[in-house]
Amino acid sequence: MDLQQPPSVRHFDHCPWLFGEAATDEQRQAQRERQRALGGDTVIGERCYVAESAAVFPDRLRLGDDSYIAAHAYVTGELTTGTDCTLNPFTTVRGTVALGTGVRIGAHTSLLGFNHSTAPDRPVFRQPHTSRGIKVGDDVWIGSHVVVVDGVTIGDHCVIGAGAVVTKDLPAWTVAAGNPARPLRDRRDVPTAAPARRDPLARFADTARAQAPEVIARCWDGARYVDRPGAVPTVRAHCDAVEIADLLLGTAPGQLTADEHVRRLAGAQDPDTGLVPEFGEPLPEPEEDGFTGEGAALYHILSVGYALDLLGSSFPHPVRGVRDMTARQLMTRLAGLAWRDGAWGAGAWIDAWATAAHWNRRHAGDDGGGAVEALFGRLLGSVDPWTGMWGSPSPVEGRLQVVNGYYRLTRGSFAQFGLPVPYPERVVDTVLDHARDPRHFGPGRENACNVLDVAHPLWLCARQLGTDVVGDGYRTAEIRAWAERQLAAVLPRWRDGQGFGFGPAGPAGPGPEPGLQGTEMWLAIVWYLADLLGRSEELGYRPRGVHRPEPARTGLGPHGG
């Protein structure tokens, strides 16, 4: 920024705390006109700011002194705030909401002070609204991507962790997190143990969160993101930076504005194919059916799509090879995948194809002409009932290709669409057998892919079986023991200010040096391992991108999810 020039109105929209000191007389007059234009039953205090880009259409608004509504916030209904309250970018406040003094609401958070009734005598969209309202006390910090539902009261001095879903009242001084949100501790409780004896999960999460800006900044070369210093810029590195910042900080990486992140990532999509090539590389030639079969462009369907999703945006164009592929063409392509000696590649192809179908359905309303349904039919008809998987082991690699391919295949299909996997008990058997293979899980041999590709299937199948991993269930003791060993091994690998390395040097992954890919993947792995032990809430974060635990959509309809 040119320090000789005042920031633009657009800058104030995203950084409204600067308005009081940096605005010109013309900008102050424009803000007064903006506030007057709100009209209606509106009273705005002194030194307040309402972003030009915010959608503020209240029935009644009382904004206390020194408060602001930032970029792209959405405010309707009745909102009352005390002094010094902040609604950060992309906040949604609807219905009847009352905030005390000194309340901070993080970006992308929703306070929904209304509901629909649910009587069975009429469709939901014809149900009348109900509203008990939301009340938030003084000195409350609500993190990013939180949802607070109607009828909830949050007491004074509370702190709500990023990504929480608050469904019940929280008493004063509560620190809460999770979905649904649960109290973790009282803010007034001062730990009596020495710092070295604090819970290692909480200590790790605090460290990672505090160092996340430094971890990301070291991988910014001044123009683009690199996986690690000295590496070439890549599209995936940019997406990994977005994922890490969202997971730990609840915001976009600070090297660019959120809008610029969206502009760069969305602008990288080829409008003709809907694919995203690597920087400086051409797109691979498509197959006869119009969809490419290899290269970074396939993974970019996942990484760029979810990075844009985290930024509140989406691909501007459909993935045309998937949109135009018929069910017959899909069956031909599936039959031609290298299931016997390349199950990982086959699973990765299905992951990319199914994720493209998800984006097409979500953003273009395209049902794919039955091809998605045909995919699931083919997978259910070809799964091995003895292993619950697809593909065959080999004498050289054992079950590595099969299990890693299973993760990729089910991540993009069954897990992403919220559908149950077949033969979950057999999957647990197969995965635990693979996890004992010293070729891949011997001392110093674990890499992020191999550990994730065991942790996620175990987590997915345990939840499907209704297993309480901390209690009784199918092979619970073995799952828990494996997760404990892995968690104990990975936490000490964090390197201050640098993050995680991917794993040992070899043909897979970027190697042992800390970088964005290793950091993004291991942060997600730590969450899955902790959740297998019933302790993920201690982390205060939950993956929302490529490695999200929840389905991205529910069912096969074009408007599901």
Q: What digits encode the pLDDT tens for the residues 447-474?
A: 999 999 999 999 999 999 886 554 568 8
Q: Could you say which DSSP state residue 223 is in?
A: S
Q: Could you say which DSSP state residue 379 is in?
A: H
Give the pLDDT of residue 116: 79
Give the pLDDT of residue 198: 55
Give the pLDDT of residue 86: 95
Q: How distant is the alpha carbon of residue 399 from its chain centre?
A: 29
Give the pLDDT of residue 228: 96
- List alpha helices for 218-342, DSSP H: 235-249, 258-267, 296-310, 320-323, 327-335
Model confidence over 219-240: pLDDT tens digits? 999 999 999 999 999 999 999 9
Spatial CB neighbours of 488, under 8 Å, sequence gap ≥ 6: none
Q: At CA 266, angle to CA 262 and CA 272, rounded to 5?
A: 170
Cβ–Cβ under 8 Å, residues 327 and 371: yes
Query: In percent, how much of the chain has pLDDT > 90?
Result: 74
Model confidence over 296-355: pLDDT tens digits? 999 999 999 999 999 999 999 999 999 999 999 999 999 999 998 899 999 999 999 999
Neighbouring C-alpha atoms within 13 Å toward the C-beta of 112: 15
Model confidence over 2-49: pLDDT tens digits? 444 556 767 788 888 888 888 888 889 999 999 999 877 999 999 999
Query: In percent, how much of the chain has pLDDT > 70?
Result: 93
Please report, for residues 141, 350, 352, the alpha-carbon distance to residue 275 in angstroms, rounded to integers and kept in the order given. Answer: 40, 15, 11
Model confidence over 458-515: pLDDT tens digits? 999 999 988 655 456 889 999 999 999 999 999 999 999 999 999 987 777 788 999 9
The mean pLDDT value for 422-431 works out to: 97
Numbers of helices and strands, H then E, in the chain: 18, 19
Q: At CA 119, angle to CA 117 and CA 123, rounded to 5?
A: 85
Answer whether residue 289 shows pLDDT above 90.
Answer: no
Task: List residues with catalytic annotation.
Answer: 116
Cβ–Cβ under 8 Å, residues 354 and 412: yes
DSSP bridge partners of 224:
none
The mean pLDDT value for 134-140 works out to: 95
Q: Could you say which DSSP state residue 122 is in?
A: S
Answer whether residue 190 shows pLDDT above 80.
Answer: no
Q: Could you say which DSSP state residue 501 is in?
A: B
Strand 92-99 and strand 74-80: pairing? parallel
The confidence band for 120, taking pLDDT boundaries of 50, 70 and 90, is confident
Give the pLDDT of residue 3: 42
Strand 129-130 and strand 115-116: pairing? antiparallel
The mean pLDDT value for 433-448 works out to: 91
Range 486-490, long-range pairs (CB < 8 A, 24+ positions): 486/446, 486/451, 486/455, 486/525, 486/529, 487/201, 487/526, 487/529, 487/530, 487/533, 489/446, 490/451, 490/522, 490/525, 490/526, 490/529
Exposure class string for 424-461: b at 16+ Cβ within 10 A, else e: bebbbbbbbebbebeebbeeeebbbbbbbbbbbbbbbb
Angle between helices 400-410 and 424-435 (to 10 degrees): 140
Distance (Å, rounded) from C-alpha 232 to C-alpha 278? 11
Task: State both tokens at 311.
Answer: 């930024």
Model confidence over 366-412: pLDDT tens digits? 656 689 999 999 999 999 999 999 999 999 999 999 999 999 999 99
Report helix, strand or coil for 281: coil
Q: How distant is the alpha carbon of residue 208 from its chain centre?
A: 17
Give the pLDDT of residue 558: 54
